Amino acid sequence: MRRILVTGGAGFIGSHLCKRLLDEGNEVVCLDNFSTGSRKNIQPLLAHPYFELLTHDIAVPLTLEADRIFHLASPASPVRYQHQPVMTVRTNVLGSLTALEIARATGATILQASTSEIYGDPEVHPQVESYWGNVNPIGPRSCYDEGKRCAETLFFDYRRQYGIKIKVARIFNTYGPLMAADDGRVVSNFIVQALRGDDITLYGDGSQTRSFCYVADMIDGLLRLMDTGPDFTGPVNLGDPHEATMRELAETILRLTGSRSHLAFKPLPKDDPKRRCPDITLAKKELGWRPTTSFEEGLTATIDHFRKLL
């Protein structure tokens, strides 16, 4: 049995990860300050004898024992990370320092949940890990983009200076049950609007693309990355290489929900990436990983979650 720390463990991906780790026989410490995470996500886990909830701001230093650390703590949707941009930077930079110091003190392997936002509005398509990105350092999205880029810098510098065992995953759009209705992510926005009969809001002409990975596949990728040998650090892209336009996503959700909602078009937000799709060649080679859940299968499960939630 390993003692595993999951920072941001009450968030969307974090709560799924906590459950999976418990199911595999580990002791799990979930650390969250609930700035964006939800107690509802981890409510079913609270009675588990090997689950511990620690309510704490990861940006504030602390000491605890851990064999492995999954560092997921950060606002992740544009609505939430832009709402308090200073807090977003603080969480990503100071929070990463806290997590890395725990790893340094305990000898734990630590995994950083980085993001496809590292690549900004990419000029290389699909995005490969060797691409350094096209990021506006002073725009409305930069609190998250640059916060995550600085976190990656800290991880690799801790490895170089202190020999910390690190793993870095660049997570592309992920969706599934336990998403919050108001989190501002495009999949949840479209599904909630469709189920309520509201207009589905598209920005620009809806031709910008994203790739969408079902959460169970993402969890599998994170666990496989953590289990790799010490010489493989990443960064490695984790995402579904199936690319869809925002309009295609909206029309698929309309069809699956049976909604009569209409499409409504608004101006494109500043620095909104026009194309986003991962090259997962490295993940296939080093992790033996690729997504296995089809887009419609994953959307159907997510729609069922929101029908119950609403």
Q: Which of 245, 222, 237 lies closest to 279 in space, CA to CA?
A: 237
Q: How far apart are CA 237 and CA 147, in angstroms?
A: 18
Which CB contacts under 8 angstroms, 24+ apart, belong to 17-23? 17/70, 17/72, 17/219, 17/222, 18/42, 18/45, 18/51, 19/44, 19/45, 20/219, 20/223, 22/48, 22/50, 22/51
Strands 51-55 and 68-71: unpaired
Q: How far apart are CA 294 and CA 261, in angstroms?
A: 24
Q: How far is CA 255 from each of CA 187, 190, 237, 251, 258, rounded to the nearest angstrom?
A: 14, 12, 30, 6, 5
Tell me if 127 sits within 8 A of 278, measured CB to CB: yes
Whether residue 144 lies in the annotated active site: yes
In the chain, what is the straight-line distance between the N-terminal and C-terminal CA atoms, in Å? 38
Q: Which of 81, 119, 144, 175 is catalytic?
A: 144
SS3 71: strand
Q: Extract the tokens encoding 58.
A: 């990861």
Q: How far apart are CA 32 and CA 34, in angstroms?
A: 5
Q: How far apart are CA 102 and CA 69, in angstroms?
A: 9
Catalytic machinery residues: 144
